Amino acid sequence: MSLFEAAFGFGLVSMSVVALAAVGFTMQFGITNMINLAYGEVMISSAYVAYYVNRAGVSIWIGMIVGAVFGAVFSFLLNRIVYTPFQRKGTSLLGMVIVSLAVSLMIANLLLPLVTYNSVSYQEPSGGLIRVAGVVLTTNQILIIVLAVLVMLAIHGLLRYTRLGKAMRATAANPTLAQNCGIATERVVDVVWLITGALCGLAGVVAALNSDSFAVANGAGFLITALAAAVLGGAGQPYGAMIGAVIIGMVTELSASAWSPEYKEVVAFGILVLVMVLRPQGLLAKRGALAAAG
């Protein structure tokens, strides 16, 4: 078995996890104009909700749905109770980033006494190893890849072929104009928080399942990876985030196989910096799904 082939397989899993997280994050920003730095903490909170469901004897795949629902409701409430009042007061984008950072720290510190600092694991058999050429994956990892592909297709379908998707794109492009055209933009924003929150929750559970153990401290790491993929692809662009996830996921694994693993994140973030220098708007800015229609 070639290590490079094995790393390619692991890269498929990593990029699937990153894509789930990054697409939700970038949609949140693209449509609601909110850089939500509490995203990673909502992910880890959802992962813990699924953990407690799983610990009660329920399959983690059911727990994943519960985690997604929790993420949706949590994100929706976060926006309604915290972010929207600030935005109505005209808080600047930078101010909102600071607010979300504060929320992130609050969630992390409120979570700590509840779940403690101990690492935990889902009780779910990883399934047997499946080998295809040099690629070795567990059944769960293959299911994660399939799940990510289905979710990405669903997001594509939502944005391209539904009225809601068109309303989202219109709101993203010009909320005032969209409102004048009769689109209930506030309701659209609510729905966006629910959908992206569900993605966030789902991504949290998947990321925790992908890792053999997780702890409350992992929230920050989840955010950084999602943020990197989103920025790499072009902030606010779901397809860009998907491409960003492919690059981040693949590069980290392949560079670990080719070079010292301690530098795998250095390589991935080095590419991010390079792209930012050469193309500051990201890979797909202005040409993605949330760009102005037409």
Partner 1 sequence: MSTIQSQTEKGEKVSTFQARRSLGRAGLSTLAILILAACGGSSSTGGGLGSGDLLVGVIAPFTGADAGLGPAYYSACLAAAPSINSNGGVGGRQVKCQQFDTRGEPADAVPAANSMVAGHSNLMAVVGCTSDEAATVAPIIDRAHIPMFCMTGQSEFNKTALKYFHRLVPADVFDAYAMVGSALYGPDHTPYKRAALVFGNDIGSQAFVQPATNAFTKLGGTIAINQPITLGASSYRTEVSAMLATHPDVIFTEALGSAGTYLGEVKTLNGGKMIPFIGTSATIDPTWFQQVKSAIGVNDLVANYHGVDLGYSFSGPAYAEFLTNLNAASSQFADAPKYKQRGSTLHLYDGIIMTALAMVAANSSDPKVYNSKIKEIANGVSGATVVNTYKDGVAALKAGKAIRFVGAGGENNFDQYNNSVSGYILVKYDAEGNEVKVAQLTPDQTKSISAAGGI
Residues near partner 1 (CB under 8 A) are: 1, 3, 6-7, 10, 13-14, 17, 108-109, 112, 116-121, 126, 129, 136, 138, 207, 210-218, 221-222, 225, 253, 256-257, 260-262, 264-265
Minimum distance, C-beta of residue 42 to partner 1, in the bound complex (Å) = 16
* Residue 161 or 263 with smaller CB distance to partner 1: 263
Phi/psi of residue 217, nearest 5 degrees: -70, -15
* Residue 167 or 248 with smaller CB distance to partner 1: 248
Minimum distance, C-beta of residue 144 to partner 1, in the bound complex (Å) = 11
Tokens of 284: 């797909």
* Residue 139 or 162 with smaller CB distance to partner 1: 139
CB atoms within 10 A of CB 221: 16
Minimum distance, C-beta of residue 83 to partner 1, in the bound complex (Å) = 24
DSSP string, the chain: --HHHHHHHHHHHHHHHHHHHHHHHHHHHHHH----TTHHHHHHHHHHHHHHHHHTT--HHHHHHHHHHHHHHHHHHHIIIIIHHHHHTT--HHHHHHHHHHHHHHHHHHHHHHH-S--B--------EEEETTEEEEHHHHHHHHHHHHHHHHHHHHHHHSHHHHHHHHHHH-HHHHHHTT--HHHHHHHHHHHHHHHHHHHHHHHHHHSS-B-TTHHHHHHHHHHHHHHHH-TT-HHHHHHHHHHHHHHHHHHHHHS-GGGHHHHHHHHHHHHHHH-TT-SSTTTSTTSPP-
Minimum distance, C-beta of residue 146 to partner 1, in the bound complex (Å) = 18
* Residue 201 or 234 with smaller CB distance to partner 1: 201
Minimum distance, C-beta of residue 35 to partner 1, in the bound complex (Å) = 22
d(CA 88, CA 104) in angstroms, rounded, equals 21
Minimum distance, C-beta of residue 17 to partner 1, in the bound complex (Å) = 7
* Residue 128 or 182 with smaller CB distance to partner 1: 128
Minimum distance, C-beta of residue 138 to partner 1, in the bound complex (Å) = 6
* Residue 161 or 259 with smaller CB distance to partner 1: 259
Minimum distance, C-beta of residue 210 to partner 1, in the bound complex (Å) = 6
* Residue 31 or 103 with smaller CB distance to partner 1: 103
Closest CA to 189 of 25, 68, 29, 71: 29
* Residue 193 or 214 with smaller CB distance to partner 1: 214
